[in-house]
A and B are shown apart, each in its own frame.
Chain A
Amino acid sequence: MMSALPGASLKGSGGSREHRPDSSVALVRVDVVPDLDASFLDLPLPALTDAALSRAEALGCSHADVRIERIRGAYRTFRDRSLESSTDGERLGMSVRVVHEGIWGFAAGIDLTTDAAAALSDRAVATAKVSRPLTPDTVQLADEPSYDASWVSAYEINPFEVEEPHKQARMLDLSDRLLRAAGVSHTSAALWTVQENKYFANLAGTRTTQQRVRTQPQWTAFSVGDHGFATMRTLAAPSGRGWEYLTGTGHDFDTEIAELPEQLAEHVQAPSIDAGRYDLVIDPTNLFLTIHESIGHATELDRALGYEAAYAGTSFATFDQLGSLRYGSDVMNVTGDRVTEHGLATIGYDDEGVASQQFPIVSKGVLVGYQLNRQMAAANGLGRSNGCAFADSPGSIPMQRMPNVSLQPEPGGPSTEELISAVDRGIYIVGDKSWSIDMQRYNFQFTGQRFFKIEKGRLAGQVKDVAYQATTTDFWRSMEAVGNESTYVLGGAFNCGKGQPGQIAPVSHGCPSALFRDVNILNTQAEGSAS
């Protein structure tokens, strides 16, 4: 499931080739790659980037990079048996980022002419000059080979090439099946699809053209009655796949929709949990989000160094603890990567021209790595960047963003049933719902879609009103066992937020089922006004 090799997901005939930085590198048109969208390749990409880069060079910039991006998004929402909203969006533009006299500058616009491209370099240098009084240190970037390459993500059917009525009919058909089931009063559903095209060039000679597609379908069933209202949502993760995801590849939506009403009905009738301490078996459909919040964000080096201190926050996993922090138990092995097939953070080259990689973050429970960009890698003596720079639009400034961060399964380890059998009194938690964690990634609280009581090693029906609350290191140190490869699921989200101005990033997290001992459980009905 996991590939350690950059470019393993390459499709088409473009491929990638690597060479050392060379200002005389010959530019190669990439329109021989059939999978790249021809309408993007028709843009004068090399001419625009050459205009911006030559202007930046003439202005004395020691570094300059240019991105031309087109991001297409389609968002549909459905309410019961009706289409509620239908919006297609597209952002097409260009940005220039420079290092001028050691200071960053950035400018972005939408006019795709060579004059406008050169003017962006002027504006980027102007912003660098405004910032000079505020910048005591000069920018250094970690070395990276230059590339002339194309890359396309691993999908089969581009959702933007599927007829609109066909897509809506599939969504409404599954909504209708839910609504016809006993106990389902209402439904809501959403379909979000994205196609990203990026062209990147820098003064060192890198030229990359990339395309990726992602899809997020989701249904929620509502039960309204004397009990008030209750909801249950499908568990299928957003995925780096195309329309095939809704037709049986990668997930079985028909079966999940068929089973949802009964699960919702049991939830409505379920007893409220007694607050206290329980052993937990956490399904990957829930655990991925805990990984995202308590490992993914906590091991962003920009957070650990304080760059996000005023907004997203810092990290308890401070830089001085690299190589020594006991993050979790011995069975905890976590990697970062941008190469996993169908991963939402997967790409060939990051937004600083760094080739994608896989790297260790936690090994046998010890913190061994951070997510990096080129500036932080250089400034902290960490060698090459591990390729985690990302900007969410042509108008956004690249920053260090999360790669796919995944908890590794134990080869030959226990199944989910075997993990449950090791629990005398506990809860099996399925599906993500509410999440919250503090600004140093210590204290978190999560709920879920379904909670099953475990009694003497067996599931004993659903309970409700459950939230688990813990301190990150206590929680991961209490992880007694992880499941085998068959329990491993790739979860994720389209909308990880970070930075100012705010940016969102898609990211996946793979994980097995896992067993945690003695975790604090709240009864949510006892919170708030209740005493």
Chain B
Amino acid sequence: MSASQVEDRRAVSAAELVERALSLATLPCVVRVEERTEANVRWANSALTTNGEMRSRSLAVTSTAPVDGGTAVGTVARQIQGIDGVGPIVAAAEAIAGSGPPSEDAMPLVSGHATAGWDAEPAGTSIDVLTDVADGLGAAFGKARNLGQLLFGFAEHIVTTTYLGSSTGLRRRGVQPTGRLEFNAKTADLTASAWAGAATRDFSEVDVESMHADLTTRLGWATNRIDLPPGRYETLLPPCAVADLMIYLHWTAGARDADEGRNAFSAGEGRTRIGERLSELPIRLRSDPYHPGLECLDFVAETSTMQGTSVAFDGGAPIAPIDWISDGVLRELVRNRGEAERTGLSATTPADNLIMDGGGSASLPEMIASTGRGLLLTTLWYIREVDPERLLLTGLTRDGVYLIENGRIAGAVNNFRFNESPIELLGRLTEVGASEQTLCREWNDYVNRTAMPTIRVPDFNMSTVSQAY
């Protein structure tokens, strides 16, 4: 049975659920129905470990209510089996809103109209989308046995269809396909590791055989083991590692927090660092719902952003392309509509992608070739905030650290713990390569759509050695 056949059996469409919720509402509200299907396969030690196929449908109602001193808001989200479940969710949301204190973010709900096709059937996926991946893995497992490797990894495809309606007339629909494949090869004694990742919308371009060949090359680099002490090294961070650092930077870039002196983008209470030069290189960091290959929803469908900024009053508001940094200068921070009105600035809800470019064109092999002596990283791991005032982060290198000598890979180095601030790193970059689509390593449960360059840092701070391999 296909996903679409399952959907067809449902007596009530998502759009009808939205309309029913709006018809039952007695207060201004935003209603969202999310239809989600997912399929995944996981493997370890060159054998499958888990697999599954999941479906869910949820209804979220964000109600606003007049209360003493202003307007309050409350959201209730539940998985919903049928039309009878709508009323209790609406009532619960209105009860929470009606019993709450006035919100500082209160704004009139976004008004609008129904966009064409907003009530179309949901898109879906099933385990069948991973059939080619499974076949490719079966072949790779055979090769790995002959090469003395063990293979590990995970492939997942999620298709989410979001329906949004508001008591102010908005009707929107958006489809978000999100796929990823993480592929990890290790030597049989587990002492060397290589990793490759792919973000995809439909797995059509994912080439398991090619990825395995790349991993085999990297494990070959690791046949020569070199021990290096902690210290500051010229370091090439590939797109995957850069993505994990820039995502964290972006997650902390809340405008109100900066205004109140609470984050690293503050210049003191009441002042932000907007307008400050962060890099001498022409760094551009942006989000754009229409970026080719990284397309994502272009309207607000959540109630808060990853920065912790509440957008409960902003449901259905358009999401525009935004430059957070351009020409190396901090240009914007994340701001909801309420904060925008208070400050006289624009609302800046970020799209669900992140794109960094520094005007460079060099490929990773070219940047390796132009390196006298330095380190090439593969990925970063267990990144956590040590000092929010500087956005000092700690974490580990993972999946292969390689020593470059005279433009060539000389061997694999031990792992390190680093302590660095991504904001401060921007000020120390000496080269930025070509930007390319990448799957980040640590945060790919949350962020799937990124394009990043390789960067060169002349003095990356490797604080201690990790014995892990």
Contacts and interface: CB of A to CB of B under 8 A. Distances in A.
Interface of A: 77, 79, 82-93, 95, 103-112, 119, 122-123, 126-128, 130-131, 133-137, 163-165, 168, 172, 185-186, 222, 224-225, 228-231, 305-311, 313-314, 316, 395, 397, 399, 434-443, 445, 447, 465, 467, 469, 471, 500-502, 520, 522, 524-525, 527-529
A104 B50 CA distance: 7
Contacts of B77: 87-90
B428 A500 contact: no
Interface in B95-145: 95-97, 99-105, 127-128, 130-131, 134-135, 137-138, 141
A500 B466 contact: no
Nearest to B135: A133
Interface in B293-348: 303-304, 308, 310, 312
A134 B48 contact: yes
A92 B101 contact: no
B153 A310 contact: yes
Given A92-B79, A309-B186, 8 more contacts: A130-B127, A133-B134, A313-B468, A436-B395, A438-B398, A438-B467, A520-B464, A528-B461
B466 A438 contact: yes
Given A86-B75, A92-B78, A438-B381, A131 B48 contact: yes
B389 interface: yes
B152 interface: yes
B384 A107 contact: no
- Kindly list the 7 A-B residue pairs having the minimum CB-CB distance in the complex, ordered from nearest: A527-B419, A310-B152, A224-B261, A440-B468, A310-B184, A134-B48, A106-B52
B190 A500 contact: no
Contacts of B38: 501
A196 to B, nearest CB: 15
A449 B137 CA distance: 47
A528 B264 CA distance: 14
A109 B3 CA distance: 12
Interface residues of B, number: 105
A528 B390 contact: yes
Contacts of B52: 106-108, 127, 397
Contacts, number: 287
A447 B384 CA distance: 11
B41 A443 contact: no
A133 B138 contact: yes
Interface in B45-84: 45, 47-57, 72-81
22 contacts: A83-B103, A84-B105, A85-B303, A87-B75, A88-B93, A104-B50, A106-B52, A108-B53, A110-B57, A134-B48, A136-B47, A222-B260, A222-B262, A224-B269, A309-B184, A310-B154, A310-B184, A313-B381, A395-B54, A397-B50, A525-B387, A529-B421
Contacts of A313: 381, 468
Given A79-B104, A440-B468, A395 B428 contact: no
Nearest to B152: A310
B386 to A, nearest CB: 5
B467 A439 contact: no
B448 interface: no
B275 interface: no
A249 to B, nearest CB: 25
B127 A126 contact: yes
B81 A111 contact: yes
Contacts of B103: 82-84
B445 interface: yes
Contacts of B381: 313, 438-439
B42 interface: yes
A159 B21 CA distance: 27
Contacts of A127: 51-53, 127
Task: From B52, B137, B467, name the one whose CB has the most chain A CB atoms within 10 angstroms.
Answer: B52
Contact of B468 (A438, A467, A501): A438
A527 B386 contact: yes
A229 B262 CA distance: 7
B48 to A, nearest CB: 4
A101 B128 CA distance: 20
A509 to B, nearest CB: 18
A447 B387 CA distance: 9
Contacts of A469: 417, 463-464
A54 to B, nearest CB: 19
Given A82-B104, A111-B81, A309-B190, A436 B382 contact: yes
A104 B53 CA distance: 12
Contacts of B73: 86
B200 interface: no
Contacts of B184: 309-310
A191 to B, nearest CB: 13
Nearest to A473: B467
Contacts of B41: 130-131, 134
B75 A471 contact: no
Nearest to B139: A133
Contacts of A438: 381-382, 396, 398, 415, 417, 466-468
Interface in B404-456: 415, 417, 419-421, 424-425, 427-428, 445
Contacts of B141: 134
Nearest to B128: A130
B92 interface: yes
A307 B131 CA distance: 22
Given A443-B417, A529-B427, A229 B96 contact: no
B352 interface: no
Task: From A105, A225, A228, A525, name the one whose CB has the most chain B CB atoms within 10 angstroms.
Answer: A228
Given A89-B78, A130-B127, A311 B154 contact: yes
A493 to B, nearest CB: 13
A113 to B, nearest CB: 9
